[in-house]
Amino acid sequence: MPSVQTIETSQNELLWVLETRNMGYAFAWNKQQRLENVYWGAKLPYPTDYAPRPIAFDPLGNWNIARSTYEEFPAWGDYKFNEPCLKVRFSDGVRACLLDYKNATVTENMASTTLTIHLQDQHYPLKVRLIYEVFADHDIIVRRAEVENTGSEPIELEQILTAALHLPRHESYQLTSLSGKWGGEFQVQRFDLPRGKQLIERRRGSTGFDSNPFFMLGADGKSTETSGDVWFGALAFSGNYKIVLERDAFEHVSVSGGINDFDFRWLLEAGETFTTPAFVAGYTPQGYGAASRLLHAYENQHIVPRETASQPRPIVYNSWYVTEFDVRFENQIKAVELAAKIGVELFVMDDGWFGQRNNDRAGLGDWYVNKEKFPQGLTPLISRVNELGMDFGIWVEPEMVNPDSDLYRTHPNWVYHFANRPLSVGRNQLVLNVARPDVQQFILGFMTDLLANNNIKFIKWDMNRHFSEPGWAEAPAGRDREFWVRHTQGVYEIWQQLRQKFPHVLFESCASGGGRVDLGIMQYADQFWMSDNTDPYDDLFIQEGFTLAHTPLTRMMWVTDANGINGRSYSFEYRFHLAMMGVLGIGADLTKWSPADLDKATAFIALYKEIRETMQFGAFYRLRSPRESALSAFQFIHPSGNEAVVTVFLSQSQFGYFATPIRLEGLDPDARYQVDGWDETWSGQALMQRGLPIALKGSFVSQLIRLVRM
Ligand code: DGJ
């Protein structure tokens, strides 16, 4: 069955049915001349099952209104009041937009099928294209919209979301979303979707901690980690976004998402086209865990940068928590020698190596090597790193500037600011206006020099404050509010160009921890710094939330000494087991580790190298949540199915504690598995039904168990 079918119904309506392995999604150009969603959920057996039907019962006697709320891309302008995807102002002042269907096209791509619905305003020269890319193997549809001004006068865009999604009517929906803070990112919250509007949004310029552009919805309280219907979606955008979940009095639930209209304006000049970010949407009948795995597989295969997608991520050392801004040749070289000994593959130098950057009050923006700290430049350090068989990486924060810097003194107009208003600093820094082409050129220029003149294989790109006083006085007339989008587009463009010029360099997205993690920047970033909080117990929660929406392949965490956040200390095992669940790094003071400690670390790193493919590319299962049990557990299955790794963490236990077995998932029921240290093999079915017995007791203890399929 093709994944996109166009059907003319017995009622002479045009119907499009989009199908994946398990999902059906259908919408029609209906008799009321609206593009109406008919269905989204489990795949149905026959095309006729998707037919749009007249509403059998009309509670208020005005079913046109009821049906208009199901539009795929509601444009504001007539008798409807739900969240619009499009709100425009034409040059004569008219602010109503009425879209007619023109035609549809279908194209087959290597791994997907694309349906494009062409719409046109009934009167004004405005075309809209709704693009649906169907990834049948992933149970995912990626929606985008393009708006084109085909006339000779400018058109103002006041609101443009990517898409409206509509869910079948149920008694209740449970929303799962991510909300957090610095040092406590990606906290999972799940609650009944109330009537009215629920907003997941950002107004501070970048993705942020307090929310993430992602949702999952389960129905009727029946969906769990391992079973039940789950609808999910994520926006591929790192600037101000908005996801509006609307539940009306008739249990109609919609999810509209895209660029936030807060303080937004976009001037669409004659001949110009505006393209929205992608809204990735999927469905599974198998619970929240399966929904995450669908997203992970789709991200690994279609979002993370292609040139490095299948490249195992190296083990990093970074001295930030040891030296902070006081990086200098002497302390870095000591760390280099020790890092190489324990098996590190990539030595990364963090903040403090440039300009007059001795603390966070000065030097940001001055991207020349600090000669007091590195009298011979970076070459001696990088050469030694390379001699010891490691690659070298470096920290930058290109979108920011300290007022106390040569860059700011030379270009005070490059930061966002309003005339006659004071500037607020955050971490003593200001935000450069990356919407400006000259700022983009500056960043591209110094980054190109840095990468061309030094053997650098990894960039940690940081971003440490929110936008405020977002004025852009020199903007072309009518375009001063476009920076909310152009800044992010500018960052994407710079990363894109750098990746093209330096295809073997890995990029990490960091924003005071996991403050810029989303499917937009993931197109350019190989990995994310998950959190500045390296406390492994806290990270169990952060990890759980991170993996709801984001693949473990992109999740970087370090083993550190007790950190300043809550001062707790843990065993080596506990720290390593936690940090290994994705991409492993080390951020501890190796000079203070005893020879025995260094040996232990060497053994853990060697183990990680053996299981790394499973931890980075494997299918990931949240077996037991730290939110629900003192004993949490996670599982990874190698893409070949031949190896699995289970990590178990006990935060505390009382006298007599006897853990219930951890029941595994996703194994081949009939295959036999050899479990670490067991004499007998067990079938996959036994491991899934009887579970792994766990003998942990005490506080902050952990276990990593390997299984091999015989
Ligand atoms: C914030 C990051 O999250 C840290 O890892 C570190 O790179 C500092 N910035 C450096 O200023």
Domain with residue 188: its CATH number is 2.70.98.60
State the pLDDT at residue 92: 98
State the pLDDT at residue 157: 98
What does the pLDDT look like over 577-603, one tens digit per residue?
A: 999 999 999 999 999 999 999 999 999
48 found inside a domain: no
Ligand 1 atom 2: residue of nearest CA:
512
State the pLDDT at residue 81: 87
State the pLDDT at residue 62: 60
Are residue 289 and residue 392 in the same domain, yes or no? no
State the pLDDT at residue 63: 55
Report the residue among 320, 326, 402, 533 best suited for mutation to probe ligand 1: largest number of ligand atoms under 8 A from its CB.
Answer: 320
Are residue 608 and residue 637 in the same domain, yes or no? no
Distances (CA, A) of 98 to 27, 78, 144, 261, 673: 18, 8, 19, 20, 61
Give me the half-sphere count of Cα atoms (radius 13 Å) on the Cβ side of residue 141: 29
Is pLDDT above 60 for 16?
A: yes
Is pLDDT above 70 for 180?
A: yes
Mean pLDDT of the 134-147 span: 98
Residue 648 is part of a domain; what is its CATH number? 2.60.40.1180
Ligand 1 atom 1: residue of nearest CA:
512
Ligand 1 centroid to residue 529 C-alpha, Å: 9
Catalytic residues: 462, 532
Are residue 330 and residue 429 in the same domain, yes or no? yes
* Structural domain that includes position 361: 316-616
- HEC string of 419-482 equals CCCCCCCECCEEEECCCCHHHHHHHHHHHHHHHHHCCCCEEEECCCCCCCCCCCCCCCCCCCCC
39 found inside a domain: no
Among 93-97, 118-122, 246-250, 254-258, name the one with the lowest average pLDDT: 246-250
Are residue 240 and residue 168 in the same domain, yes or no? yes
Domain boundary among 268, 303, 338: 303
Is pLDDT above 70 for 309?
A: yes
Are residue 233 and residue 370 in the same domain, yes or no? no
Count the Cβ atoms, other than its own, within 10 Å of residue 309. Answer: 15
Q: What percent of the chain has pLDDT over 90?
A: 93
196 found inside a domain: yes
State the pLDDT at residue 219: 98
Are residue 233 and residue 350 in the same domain, yes or no? no
Mean pLDDT of the 623-650 span: 98
What does the pLDDT look like over 189-216, one tens digit per residue?
A: 999 999 999 999 999 999 999 999 999 9
Cβ within 8 Å of residue 238, ≥6 positions away: 206, 207, 488, 491, 492, 516, 518, 520, 521
Interatomic CA distance for residues 358 and 355, integer angstroms: 9
Is pLDDT above 60 for 140?
A: yes
Is pLDDT above 60 for 65?
A: no
State the pLDDT at residue 127: 98
> Contact 554/286 with Cβ under 8 angstroms?
no
494 found inside a domain: yes
What does the pLDDT look like over 457-477, one tens digit per residue?
A: 999 999 999 999 999 999 999
112 found inside a domain: no
Domain boundary among 280, 303, 326: 303
Mean pLDDT of the 388-404 span: 98
Record the tokens describing residue 292, joined without a space.
Answer: 């995450």
Ligand 1 atom 5: residue of nearest CA:
532
Are residue 502 and residue 421 in the same domain, yes or no? yes
Mean pLDDT of the 170-181 span: 98
Mean pLDDT of the 282-299 span: 98
Is pLDDT above 90 for 260?
A: yes
Ligand 1 centroid to residue 556 C-alpha, Å: 13
Residue 565: pLDDT band by 50, 70, 90 thresholds?
confident
Is pLDDT above 60 for 67?
A: no
Residue 9: pLDDT band by 50, 70, 90 thresholds?
confident
What does the pLDDT look like over 215-238, one tens digit per residue?
A: 999 999 999 999 999 999 999 999
Looking at the DSSP bridge assignments, the partners of residue 396 are 461
Ligand 1 atom 11: residue of nearest CA:
351
Ligand 1 centroid to residue 488 C-alpha, Å: 20
Interatomic CA distance for residues 429 and 340, integer angstroms: 35
Residue 581 is part of a domain; what is its CATH number? 3.20.20.70
Record the tokens describing residue 88, joined without a space.
Answer: 């425009």
Are residue 662 and residue 516 in the same domain, yes or no? no
State the pLDDT at residue 358: 98
Task: Report the largest interatomic distance among the alpha carbons of the chain, rounded to a whole angstrom.
Answer: 81
Are residue 637 and residue 699 in the same domain, yes or no? yes
State the pLDDT at residue 68: 63
* Angle, helices 572-579/595-617, rounded to nearest 10 degrees: 30
**Average pLDDT value for the chain:** 96
Nearest alpha-carbon partner for 553 in 528, 572, 533: 528
Domain boundary among 275, 303, 331: 303
Are residue 327 and residue 368 in the same domain, yes or no? yes
Residue 566: pLDDT band by 50, 70, 90 thresholds?
confident
110 found inside a domain: no
Interatomic CA distance for residues 543 and 517, integer angstroms: 13
Is residue 496 classed as helix, strand or coil in its secondary structure?
helix
Question: In the structure, which protein residues have their CB atom closer than 6 angstroms to any atom of ligand 1?
Answer: 320, 350-351, 395, 462, 464, 510, 512-513, 529, 532
State the pLDDT at residue 671: 98
Ligand 1 centroid to residue 351 C-alpha, Å: 7
Is pLDDT above 90 for 423?
A: yes
State the pLDDT at residue 429: 98
Ligand 1 centroid to residue 426 C-alpha, Å: 14
140 found inside a domain: yes
**Backbone conformation region of residue 324, classed left if phi is above 0, alpha if psi is from -120 to 50, else beta:** left
Count the Cβ atoms, other than its own, within 10 Å of residue 618. Answer: 25
Is pLDDT above 60 for 352?
A: yes
Are residue 604 and residue 639 in the same domain, yes or no? no
pTM above 0.85, yes or no: yes
598 found inside a domain: yes
Report the residue among 360, 509, 512 best suited for mutation to probe ligand 1: largest number of ligand atoms under 8 A from its CB.
Answer: 512
Q: How many domains does the chain have?
A: 3
Is pLDDT above 80 for 54?
A: no
Are residue 453 and residue 557 in the same domain, yes or no? yes
Record the tokens describing residue 253, joined without a space.
Answer: 């639930």
